Amino acid sequence: MSAPGEPALPLQQLQSVLSPAGSAADTIASLSWGLFALMALIFIGVMALLAWAVSRRAGGQPVRPLRWIVGGGVVFPLVVLAGLFGASHWRTPGWLVPPPPGALIVGITAHLWWWEVRYRDPATGQDITLANELRLPVGRPVWLGLSSPDVIHSFWVPALAGKVDMVPGRVNHLLVQARQPGVYRGQCAEYCGDQHARMALHVVATPPAEFNAWLAAQARPAASPASPLLERGRQAFMAQRCNACHTVRGVAGESRLGPDLTHVGSRLYLGAGTLRNQPGAMAHWVSDVQALKPGARMPSSNDMDAGTLQALAAYLEHLQ
Ligand code: CUA
């Protein structure tokens, strides 16, 4: 959700299991409501029995305590729990099968504390590496390969699907499918260190044609600086050694230590959900990372002179 004073994102949905916008999430939501209704009935029944027990007059018919203990304490829970296990098991098998034909395949790698997102460019077959934002076409199944090079993280976008851990040395899978356009917030769901809380991921579901145009744009190398200010920013990017960790395709390096910045200006957020990417945010982020996200693997560049910082920020913002 937006912080106070921030413009709301269009079509942003609640980060809630009870606001489903995809097929797997629909199943989870209906199971959750079914569970809630059943538990409410049992609670009411137990309370009614309790009221009956305390209001009984002494000297009435004997209650046969063993029958209540075995029936209510053993048989009834066994039947209810077995029924719930069956219901949840039979309703969820499809999530673990191989990707359906026509599925879009996306690789996601969780890092301390950001998300690397890889698509295959349908035009060239090359990988396109992006960060912190997963875009997908509405109505098409998307098969995610989830991994981690460092510690255990967990992928969780409640509006779309359940949680899947991202474990070093393994590739886990998750099938998601968005039913309607929207922005769905996700969050690392396994404690992974200082900035676990600021490890958010935004999923943007768009109509297929819009998605294809977006992917084609993301596949292109970075825009060339078109003004002296932007050129100064590009030079600052190299001089400040930003390229030691970040790639800007067509400009600098192939370092994968930090997020790929080729199209950073087009993202909704900076720092894995830390700051909305709006005017002024880039300069704030670059100069003050350690105040905004203490422990992030990037130093604050607060010793840069104001002119250089503004040029660098303008250059990064223009990488649309
Ligand atoms: Cu990554 Cu918690």
Q: What is the pLDDT of residues 259-270, one digit of tens each?
A: 998 999 999 999
- pLDDT at residue 158, rounded to an integer: 93
Task: Judge whether 125 lies within some domain.
Answer: yes
Name residue 38's amino acid: L
- pLDDT at residue 59, rounded to an integer: 65
DSSP state of 221: P
Domain stops at, among 63, 95, 127: 95
For 56-115, the pLDDT digits (tens) are 776 667 677 888 889 888 999 999 999 999 988 888 765 566 888 889 999 999 999 999
For 130-162, the pLDDT digits (tens) are 999 999 999 999 999 999 999 999 999 999 998
- pLDDT at residue 226, rounded to an integer: 85
Question: Quick one: which atom of ligand 1 is closest to the CA of 190?
Answer: 2
- pLDDT at residue 303, rounded to an integer: 84
Question: How many angstroms does the Cα of residue 161 sit away from the middle of ligand 1?
Answer: 17
pLDDT-derived band at 126 (thresholds 50, 70, 90) equals confident
What are the structure tokens assigned to 141, written together? 């199944």
Same domain, 146 and 165: yes
Same domain, 52 and 126: no
Same domain, 201 and 139: yes
- pLDDT at residue 81, rounded to an integer: 94
Question: How many angstroms does the Cα of residue 276 sit away from the middle of ligand 1?
Answer: 20
Question: How many angstroms does the Cα of residue 111 sit away from the middle of ligand 1?
Answer: 8
**pLDDT of residue 317 exceeding 60:** yes
**pLDDT of residue 40 exceeding 90:** yes
User: What count of Cα atoms within 13 Å lies in the side-chain half-sphere of residue 16?
Assistant: 7
- pLDDT at residue 33, rounded to an integer: 93
- pLDDT at residue 104, rounded to an integer: 94
**DSSP H or E segment with residue 47:** helix 23-55
- Ligand 1 atom 1 nearest Cα: 153
Report which of 212, 12, 37 is spatially closest to residue 123, judged by C-alpha positions. 212
Q: Rounded to whole angstroms, how far apart are CA atoms 233 and 79?
A: 67
Report which of 144, 275, 133 is spatially closest to residue 215, judged by C-alpha positions. 133
Question: Quick one: which atom of ligand 1 is closest to the CA of 188?
Answer: 2
- Cβ(202)–Cβ(184) under 8 Å? yes
Domain stops at, among 172, 197, 218: 218
Question: Quick one: which atom of ligand 1 is closest to the CA of 191?
Answer: 2
Question: How many angstroms does the Cα of residue 165 sit away from the middle of ligand 1?
Answer: 10
Question: Quick one: which atom of ligand 1 is closest to the CA of 153?
Answer: 1
Same domain, 142 and 238: no
- pLDDT at residue 5, rounded to an integer: 55
Query: For residue 162, what are the CA distances in angstroms to 46, 102, 129?
Result: 32, 22, 24
Task: Judge whether 2 lies within some domain.
Answer: no
- pLDDT at residue 36, rounded to an integer: 94
Domain count, the chain: 3
Same domain, 237 and 157: no
* Site residues for ligand 1, CB cut-off 6 Å: 110, 113, 153, 188, 190-192, 196, 199
Question: How many angstroms does the Cα of residue 199 sit away from the middle of ligand 1?
Answer: 6
Q: pTM for this structure?
A: 0.86
Same domain, 137 and 166: yes
Report which of 102, 142, 108, 111 is spatially closest to residue 127, judged by C-alpha positions. 108
For 278-311, the pLDDT digits (tens) are 889 999 999 988 998 998 898 888 888 888 999 8
Question: How many angstroms does the Cα of residue 155 sit away from the middle of ligand 1?
Answer: 9
Question: How many angstroms does the Cα of residue 240 sit away from the middle of ligand 1?
Answer: 29
- At 113, is the secondary structure helix, strand, or coil? coil
For 169-201, the pLDDT digits (tens) are 999 999 999 999 999 999 999 999 999 999 999
CATH number of the domain residue 117 falls in: 2.60.40.420
Question: Quick one: which atom of ligand 1 is closest to the CA of 197?
Answer: 2
**DSSP H or E segment with residue 239:** helix 228-239
Domain stops at, among 190, 218, 246: 218
For 205-225, the pLDDT digits (tens) are 999 999 999 999 999 888 888
Mean pLDDT (the chain) is 89
